[in-house]
Structure 1
Amino acid sequence: MAEAPSFDPAHPWGGNSRNATVDVNAQYSGFEYHYTYLVFCGFIVWLIIPGIGLLYGGLARRKSSLTMLFQSLMVASITTFQWMFWGYSLAYSRTANAFIGDLANFGMMKVQAAPSPGSVYIPEIVFCLYQMLFCACTVQIVVGGSFERGRIMPSLVFGFWWATIVYCPIACWTWNANGWLYNLPSLDFAGGGPVHIASGWAALAYAFMLGKRKQHGEKSHGKPHNTTLVFLGTILIWFGWFGFNGGSALNATVRAMYAAFNTNTAASTGAIGWVLVDYIRTGGKFSVVGACEGAIAGLVGITPAAGYVSCWPAALIGFLTAVVCALLQDINEWLNIDEGLYVFKLHGIGGMVGSFLTGIFADSAISALDGSSLYPGGWNGNGIQIGKQFAEITAISSYSFIVSCILLLIMKYIPGLHLRASEEAEMRGLDLDQFFDEQIGESDWSNFVRDDMMMMHGMQRQEAADQSGVVSSEGSMERQAVEPERKD
């Protein structure tokens, strides 16, 4: 059997490829299937990015849908630059301290053919690509907090700096061999903390700092404009999640295959759980959007547990996570925050539930399927693991929310980076306000928005006239035209 490759500090690049006599691939001879599998997983993880864009675009009202699609592409682009510039180094440099990495790999320095810090079977350039896609997906989830009222350019600036000062430190805590949560250890197989808990709390902070949408509370605010986009986005997310969880073993062992099986299991039982809650709540009716949300909740719940639990606990984790999230449909009203995409409910709360249940159901027999790992949980009598999961949950939740609020507050007072679109832009829709020649749907959509704007201005003039005690004949006609709409 071939000897496993090992990292040589004297050759941090993994060999001198400029020397024609040196074959940097030779060290992986006999182990190529590991990084081939991980590259494939990375490719399908990328599909989560347009999947989130379609999901968010479908959930938005029609006049702000294009914004969500555009951000999905641009967030991936901005995050790629951030990761190459210093993000990877801050998260995964081998000389990191317990909280954050240094700049040893700044600008992709020494990131090439050497065995990666995550697994000696994976060249570092492959590991870097795979983890970069995790960061991109996370930042895209976060910008959902700007839903229907956040300006695009500030959201991209926020995404760059959020990845730098929130995601990268938390990823270092959790997955870097020097990180404090890694050595505690808390159990987080594929990102329950860095991806979901962190993004959920950050999206809540974003929505909190922006304030509520205009006309918040009207029925039209809660209805997705295109259920087909929601469904298609969910399917891409579900498919991409096979790579998200299945690749997080960082090898092509039976453990990775088991994690993929658990992923599909939890998504399926999550959809069942949410639909069941909807069915009871509505007296026997169904919701396509509810089924999609349930599947995503199940995926979120199983993310930290996928490579630690057996298949029946995975089914239970998906089901329970979805039921808990579905029962919290009024969370925005309880918190008095307008977080319209329910990122906090699905990712923040779902991630916390999943992390907690991981501590209960982690089974060393499952982690041992890779031939080397033993991570017992409450299932094996290691009850203290549940407390360690609480440490992860509280640390990541508080850090993400507080630092996100501080970052947004700083940006709010920087000229040109004010976070929120104008009231007129919000009423017109962000698409017509921030795009010069494109829109979702048919050409008559712009006419509909123009009529809507005329009605809004009529209402404003009438309110001003009422306050001054003077009601003009023009205002009276506008009021008659507007009042039937209010009744609807």
Structure 2
Amino acid sequence: MAPAITLAAEAPTLSAANTGFMLICSALVMLMTPGLAFFYGGMVRVKSTLNMLMMSFISLGIVTVLWVLYGFSMAFGTDSGGVVGWNSDWIGLSGIGLTELWDGYTIPVFVFLVFQLMFAVLTPALISGALADRVKFTAWALFIALWATVVYFPVAHWVWGSGGWAFELGVIDFAGGTAVHINAGAAALGVILVIGKRVGFKKDPMRPHSLPLVMLGAALLWFGWFGFNAGSWLGNNDGVGALMFVNTQISAAAAVLGWLAYEKIRHGAFTTLGAASGAVAGLVAITPAGGAVTPLGAIAVGAVSGVLCAMAVGLKYRFGYDDSLDVVGVHLVGGIIGSLLVGFLASGKGQSDVEGLFYGGGLDQFWKQCAGVFGVLAYSLVVSAILAFLLDRTIGMRVSEDDEVAGIDRAEHAETAYDYSGAGGGARSTATAPADRAESKKVDA
């Protein structure tokens, strides 16, 4: 993410081209949250589809309101101790002029804040995939509000806010490897260690109920990611955003190939789920690195992340943590890979003149990347676990075992994703539809 600084020698003026470009990028990032909903929704069983969709969609409502009230101020306001920002003029987005520019750039503050809002919306939605099938919707909604306030807003300031400790240290995170993906992946791990496994974990089949939905979601994520990454340069004047756009495509493609190659060798087949997951892994990994590496470097980032993330998703069975939809294996591991590879592959010819080890720059940048990665990981993991523990001990995080087995869609939303009563027509299909929880136990894709 480009630093928000004002250079005394410059007097930026509003650019209609950059403003329009950034509004389009903001819309693309917004599309990623519904895309994520479809991606996750297709990966769960039939009885959890709507709940999975809703766990993403509710973030659009909650985080947007919090961002307006105080989130933008906490993330990008005047620094306090390198930890959090604050600007009372931004509470409720008051005191911001229509043509007031973001410091040092040619776009209005309103454009910058709405672009950043979409990042804030997406990040807690990413966590939801680890918690499929078993979390009360009310508890999840409250968790989002608390987590955004005490984790995401401060971490965004650390990484991208002027004065944030990671920003000042020189940690490179172009578009969210630490602030978004490691942050969400570590949070997911912290929560699932508190709330425990799904009923039937490692015993019952828990296959995706709709691989076409998974592929649709992955395609929407891939499409939206161009705005997520290329837009993070906050303009389109010097070619860095174009480099990031190209590297985004390259890394995703290389990761698909890497994941599928590993899958074929390890399991003997090329799966659609593997292709979709590989694309997301490559997109995650290039997010922090794409402005610093060359296109050949992007191939390396993608290929490495595709293979290592494919390997990482199996760790939940070895260590016994139930990461339902592989948020830890893809987002945490992918974010770590991409962030750390900056220390080796930064070419010095992209977003800055920083060079990694393979370009003669030594290990200085690598150690900075380690500080950013493990600082965010530790904070998010611990605080997220504490929030989950407090919610579990007060209002309870999990639905009852009976509701989980029967189907969380019926228990939490009084709906089902698919209406079986019309499948064959006539009285017979109506009579045999899963009309109660006992029958719905039989419909478990």
TM-score (normalizing by structure 2):
0.91
Question: 1:243-322 maps to which residues of 2 (within 5 A)?
Answer: 243-253=227-237, 254-283=239-268, 285-322=269-306
Q: Of the candidates 140, 145, 151, which is equivalent to residue 160 of structure 1?
A: 145
8 Å Cα contact 2:47-2:416 kept in structure 1? no
d(CA) in 2 for partners of 1:326, 1:43 = 30
Q: CA deviation at 1:146?
A: 1.9
Question: 1:8-87 maps to which residues of 2 (within 5 A)?
Answer: 28-29=13-14, 31-87=15-71
d(CA) in 2 for partners of 1:350, 1:410 = 29
State the secondary structure of the residue aligned to 2:135: coil
Shift in CA distance, 329/436, structure 1 to aligned 2, threshold 3 Å: closer
Query: Is 1:176 aligned with 2:161?
Result: yes
8 Å Cα contact 2:312-2:333 kept in structure 1? no
What residue is the counterpart of 1:410 in the other structure?
390
8 Å Cα contact 1:7-1:120 kept in structure 2? no
Question: 1:21-420 maps to which residues of 2 (within 5 A)?
Answer: 28-29=13-14, 31-104=15-88, 105-112=90-97, 113-117=99-103, 119-221=104-206, 223-253=207-237, 254-283=239-268, 285-367=269-351, 373-383=352-362, 384-414=364-394, 417-420=395-398
Q: CA deviation at 1:441?
A: 4.5
8 Å Cα contact 2:434-2:440 kept in structure 1? no
d(CA) in 2 for partners of 1:250, 1:345 = 30
Q: CA deviation at 1:95?
A: 4.2
State the secondary structure of the residue aligned to 2:162: coil
Shift in CA distance, 436/7, structure 1 to aligned 2, threshold 3 Å: farther
Shift in CA distance, 360/27, structure 1 to aligned 2, threshold 3 Å: closer
Where does structure 2 lack aligned partners over 5 or more consecutive residues?
422-431
Q: CA deviation at 1:97?
A: 3.5
d(CA) in 2 for partners of 1:259, 1:440 = 40
The Cα offsets for residues 3-47 of structure 1, whole Å up to 9 and x where unpaired, read as xx9699xxxxxxxxxxxxxxxxx9735x22112111111111111
What residue is the counterpart of 2:411 in the other structure?
433
- Report the residue type matching 1:295 in the other structure: A
The Cα offsets for residues 82-101 of structure 1, whole Å up to 9 and x where unpaired, read as 11111111100134431111
8 Å Cα contact 1:90-1:96 kept in structure 2? no
Q: CA deviation at 1:362?
A: 1.1
Q: CA deviation at 1:103?
A: 4.3
Where does structure 1 lack aligned partners over 5 or more consecutive residues?
9-25, 368-372, 457-484
8 Å Cα contact 2:134-2:198 kept in structure 1? yes
Q: Of the candidates 400, 419, 435, which is equivalent to residue 422 of structure 1?
A: 400
The Cα offsets for residues 150-201 of structure 1, whole Å up to 9 and x where unpaired, read as 0111101101110111111111111011111111111100000010001001
8 Å Cα contact 2:29-2:225 kept in structure 1? yes
Q: Of the candidates 437, 446, 454, which is equivalent to residue 434 of structure 2?
A: 446
d(CA) in 2 for partners of 1:436, 1:282 = 39
d(CA) in 1 for partners of 2:78, 2:433 = 54
- Report the residue type matching 1:451 in the other structure: E
d(CA) in 2 for partners of 1:240, 1:422 = 36
d(CA) in 2 for partners of 1:344, 1:134 = 19
- Report the residue type matching 2:189 in the other structure: L
d(CA) in 2 for partners of 1:408, 1:103 = 29
Structure with the larger RCO, 1 or 2 (CA within 8 Å, 6+ apart): 2
What residue is the counterpart of 1:466 in the other structure?
none
State the secondary structure of the residue aligned to 2:288: coil
d(CA) in 1 for partners of 2:250, 2:258 = 12
Q: CA deviation at 1:406?
A: 0.9
Q: CA deviation at 1:393?
A: 1.1
8 Å Cα contact 2:407-2:440 kept in structure 1? no
- Which range moves more in the overlay, 194-203 or 332-341? 332-341
Superposition RMSD in Å: 2.1
State the secondary structure of the residue aligned to 1:413: helix
- Which range moves more in the overlay, 355-364 or 57-66? 355-364
TM-score (normalizing by structure 1):
0.83
d(CA) in 1 for partners of 2:356, 2:12 = 36
Shift in CA distance, 445/61, structure 1 to aligned 2, threshold 3 Å: farther
8 Å Cα contact 1:90-1:169 kept in structure 2? yes
Shift in CA distance, 230/178, structure 1 to aligned 2, threshold 3 Å: same
* Structure number, greater radius of gyration: 1
Shift in CA distance, 64/437, structure 1 to aligned 2, threshold 3 Å: closer
